[in-house]
Homo-oligomer: A and B are copies of this chain.
């Protein structure tokens, strides 16, 4: 039983960013196109575009700049802020995982330890 950490960042009004959006950004950076990134992640262009757009709205600034028409029909690139966002997220992910590692291990030990052993029936009353 493996246990990994999954991190997301909650922004104040309403907006989250988690591993999915960050992966998408990385794919856009790698492929130079939203649609190619979508294909790589087996995600519809529509969804990929919506995710990109929602990030731009949440952060109040675009995470990618795009171009219609052109060499291969157009394309998209990460903005400097988009790249920073990826870097920050990965950094946070890394340090959080490091800090949590021993506790995750302990949790797994506890899971194995009690394996359906003690589940005392409830005797006294709880707070009603």
Contacts and interface: CB of A to CB of B under 8 A. Distances in A.
A114 B61 contact: yes
Contacts of A91: 103
A36 to B, nearest CB: 8
Interface string A30-65: 111100000000000000000000000001111001
A16 B6 contact: yes
Contact of A61 (B67, B98, B115, B120): B115
Interface string A1-37: 1111111111110001000000000000011110000
Interface string A82-104: 00110010011001101110011
Given A65-B122, A122-B75, A114 B81 contact: yes
B7 A3 contact: no
Given A75-B125, A92-B100, A96-B100, 10 more contacts: A3-B12, A5-B96, A9-B104, A9-B107, A60-B115, A61-B114, A66-B122, A67-B121, A72-B128, A81-B118
A88 B115 contact: no
A110 B81 contact: yes
